[in-house]
A = this chain, B = another copy of it.
Amino acid sequence: MKAKNPTIADVAARAGVSVPTVSRVLTGAARVSPAKRELVEQAIAELGYRPSAAARALVSRRPQTIAIIAGNTSRYGYAETIRGIEIAARAEGYTVMITVVESADEDEVDRAIEATLTQPLAGVAVLKFDPPGVAALGKIPGNLPVVALSGVREPNMSQAVLDEAAAAEELTEYLLSLGHETVHHVRVPPSRKVDGRTTGWRRALRRANAAVPPVLDATWEPRSGIAVGRALAADPGVTAVFCGNDEIAMGVMRGIAEAGLRVPGDISVAGFDDNPLAELWSPPLTTVRQDFAGLGRRGFQLLLNAVNGTDDRRHSSERPRLVIRASTAAPGPRR
- Which A residues lie at the B interface, using CB under 8 A? 1-3, 5, 48, 50-55, 57-58, 63, 65, 72-76, 79-80, 82-83, 86-87, 90, 93, 95-100, 112, 114-120, 141-143, 221-223, 225-226, 247, 250-251, 253-254, 257, 276-277, 279-282
Copy count, this protein chain: 2
Q: Within the complex, which residue of B2, B87, B118, B142 is in contact with A51, where a contact is CB–CB below 8 Å?
A: B118
Q: Within the complex, which residue of B93, B99, B250 is in contact with A277, where a contact is CB–CB below 8 Å?
A: B250
Given contacts A50-B114, A52-B118, A277-B277, 11 further A-B contacts (CB under 8 A): A51-B118, A52-B120, A65-B97, A73-B83, A83-B100, A90-B115, A93-B115, A95-B119, A222-B276, A247-B276, A250-B280
CB atoms of A52 and B58 under 8 A apart: yes
* Docked CA distance A120–B167 (Å): 44
Known: A74-B82, A277-B277, A280-B251. A2 touches B143 (CB 8 A): yes
CB atoms of A143 and B98 under 8 A apart: no
CB atoms of B3 and A50 under 8 A apart: no
Q: How far is the CB of A191 from chain B (nearest CB, A)?
A: 20
Q: How far is the CB of A53 from chain B (nearest CB, A)?
A: 4
* Docked CA distance A225–B48 (Å): 44
